Structure 1
Amino acid sequence: MSASSMATKNQVLSLAAGIFIMSGFLINVFIVAVNISKWKKVRPMSTADKVITSLGISRMVFPVIGLLKVILYLYFCRLSFLFFVSVMFLEFTCMHSSIWLSTLLSVIFCLKISALQNAFCLQLKIFVLNRVSHLIMASVMVSVSYALMFSLLANVDISNNSTQETYNNVLMSLSISSLIFLTTGPFLINFVSSVLLIIYLYHHMSRMKSERNKTSQLDPYYKTIKFTGFSLFCSTVSIIFELTYKQSYAVLGLLGNGFLGQIPPTLHSIYLIYVTAKLRIQVSNMVRFLWRR
């Protein structure tokens, strides 16, 4: 393949990655802005809205880091180890914050919607719903601690031997440690809460069907099941992508890898807007306003 065709391919991929990254950024800015504007009007923010807002903020920063990494890689091919470590710290912080906050959102939906009546579930519901702000801070702090610890380790390794092999070894060690410590836990919690919620909704819908309720009354349950399943799917894809970062980087390169990594959180944010009434209404108002102009 000629150099000109390779340059054209990189330019097209850069443009596609840039557009998708900025789309993800603007979508999450919209989610955060709507929730904050509601809070500014002295309306109490629900527990789910607090988590959604925090999740939107983490996903706002993540595309900016991806875009910064792509731009600097294109124009400054030889990146210093300090830049590599700094970007890795921010990227891993945002990525793990998104995973933990998505898990927390799944648990909140499960506890609020399902009517589990045993003592443990009731105590867990009271604890989670009353301390959601503390849990959000804990999720962020765990992600920051993880990213800081391994960024410092990577700093030592790369500064002593800044070769491509060292970069790959650092990424591999991060993937293994992430699998053991910070990925399996939130995935299992997310999986269990999502499955319990889907089972509860399915049994509740079966009872409603036996009582010959109208199909329109079942629509909210269908939407909740679809959203729960889609959220679990996006979280699973994000975790798989993180654990196979080295392999995908070798196959797709930095641009393709950056583009692929933005797909699950962006699609989840779009679907979140679709299923949330106030966000959907704001989108409709914006479309009508732009159409009139």
Structure 2
Amino acid sequence: MESGQWIQELCLFITASIVCAIGLQTNLFIVGVSAIDRLNRRPLTPADLLITAIATSRILFQFMTLLDLFWITFNGVGSATFAIPSAMIVSSSAYSNIWLSVLQSVFYSLKISNFHNILYLCLKKIILQRVVGLAIMFVVMSIFYSLADILTFVMTSPNNSTQDGGTNHMVQFIRYRVFLLWNVLPFLFYVVSCSALLGSLCRHMYRMRREDNVTVHLDTYYKTIKFTVASFCCFALYVSFNMFGNFLLSFPALLLVGNCFLMLHSLYLIYMTPQLRAQVIKILNVMTRAATRNFGVHD
């Protein structure tokens, strides 16, 4: 490897490690706030549980990403003993994050939208009452898919002489089609839920303006629209890089880009969630008072 390319790869590894560490701390904070609320016997809403579940899946993903980065940095290409379990955890947590994000989008869409057709009302009743069960189901589905995908990859690898070439090509063809379906399907669900939510909000805002209602209350609508659009952009970019990143980017660049979207979205979740934002402000106030006292003592 040339000197310039080696320096570039090293910078990417260092930057990816920093992004992973920031994202890991951010998601640990989200889970920690929920755990403290639970210990204090404060009830957690389904929205809080979904945010906590998403943060937990991202913690696993970012922790294993950091471990992979350090392993490759100090040991080169990892052995199968480390690579297979690591790939299993990374894949399971990545797809759990994707499907839980879809569930969060569907949850907000059903909770906020005000459609009145029978199908929508039945779907709303079924999903809103089974958020925890659906979250567990999506996590289990992600684990089983990741396990099947990795086992299929190992069995059809060129080093495996127990399978003939024709069978390997057929299995790889099916595996790639399932991979596309497993990424496109949640993306379509996300698009439908976001479109329904944005359509409902815009229609309601139009009615309020037409009826000359007080426009001060529209701030909440604008915040919801901004949150929905920002979350969709992060989700769409993350799924796109999950599908095509291996063909477009090197390993450290792929980890950097993927974790950057997760970190930014987690920070945005904290900013948009009043309870999490209040905890951040409280921590900053404590740190400010402590720093002020320390400087006062030194002076």
Q: Which residue of 2 aligns with 1:207?
A: 207
After superposition, the Cα gap between the structure-2 partners of 1:271 and 1:55, relative to the gap in structure 1 and judged at 3 Å, is same
Cα displacement string for residues 53-75 of structure 1 (whole angstroms, at most 9, x for unaligned residues): 10010011111111111111111
1:145 to partner: Cα distance: 0.5
- CA contact 2:246–2:254 (8 Å) conserved in 1: no
Q: Which residue of 1 aligns with 2:186?
A: 186
1:172 to partner: Cα distance: 8.9
Q: Tell me, in whole angstroms, the C-alpha distance in 2 between the residues paired with 1:171 and 1:62.
A: 25
TM-score, with structure 2 as normaliser = 0.88
After superposition, the Cα gap between the structure-2 partners of 1:91 and 1:175, relative to the gap in structure 1 and judged at 3 Å, is farther
1:8 to partner: Cα distance: 3.5
Root mean square deviation, CA, Å = 2.3
Q: Tell me, in whole angstroms, the C-alpha distance in 1 between the residues paired with 2:28 and 2:222.
A: 28
Structure 1 gap ranges (5+): 163-168
Q: Does 1:289 align with 2:286?
A: yes
1:173 to partner: Cα distance: 7.3
Q: Which residue of 1 aligns with 2:90?
A: 91
DSSP-derived class of the 1:244 partner: helix
Q: Which residue of 2 aligns with 1:49?
A: 48
Q: Which residue of 1 aligns with 2:102?
A: 103
Q: Which residue of 2 aligns with 1:165?
A: none
DSSP-derived class of the 1:160 partner: coil
- CA contact 1:63–1:262 (8 Å) conserved in 2: yes
1:103 to partner: Cα distance: 0.4
Structure 2 gap ranges (5+): 162-168, 291-299
Percent identity of the aligned residues? Answer: 34
Q: What is the number of equivalent residue pairs in this alignment?
A: 283
1:288 to partner: Cα distance: 1.1
Q: Which residue of 2 aligns with 1:244?
A: 244
Q: Write the letter of the residue equivalent to 2:30.
A: I
Q: Tell me, in whole angstroms, the C-alpha distance in 2 between the residues paired with 1:285 and 1:175.
A: 48
Cα displacement string for residues 94-121 of structure 1 (whole angstroms, at most 9, x for unaligned residues): 1110110000001110111111222221
Larger mean CA deviation between 105-114 and 39-48 belongs to 39-48
Q: Tell me, in whole angstroms, the C-alpha distance in 2 between the residues paired with 1:172 and 1:15.
A: 36
Q: Write the letter of the residue equivalent to 1:212.
A: D
1:13 to partner: Cα distance: 2.2
Q: Does 1:230 align with 2:230?
A: yes
DSSP-derived class of the 2:41 partner: coil
Q: Tell me, in whole angstroms, the C-alpha distance in 2 between the residues paired with 1:115 and 1:281.
A: 29
1:89 to partner: Cα distance: 1.1
Cα displacement string for residues 115-138 of structure 1 (whole angstroms, at most 9, x for unaligned residues): 122222122111111111110110
Cα displacement string for residues 242-269 of structure 1 (whole angstroms, at most 9, x for unaligned residues): 1113213xxx422111111102221111
Alignment of 1:272-283 (within 5 A): 272-283=269-280
Return the index of the structure with the highest Cα Rg. 2
Q: Does 1:259 align with 2:256?
A: yes
After superposition, the Cα gap between the structure-2 partners of 1:224 and 1:174, relative to the gap in structure 1 and judged at 3 Å, is farther
- CA contact 1:82–1:155 (8 Å) conserved in 2: no
TM-score, with structure 1 as normaliser = 0.89
- CA contact 1:13–1:255 (8 Å) conserved in 2: yes
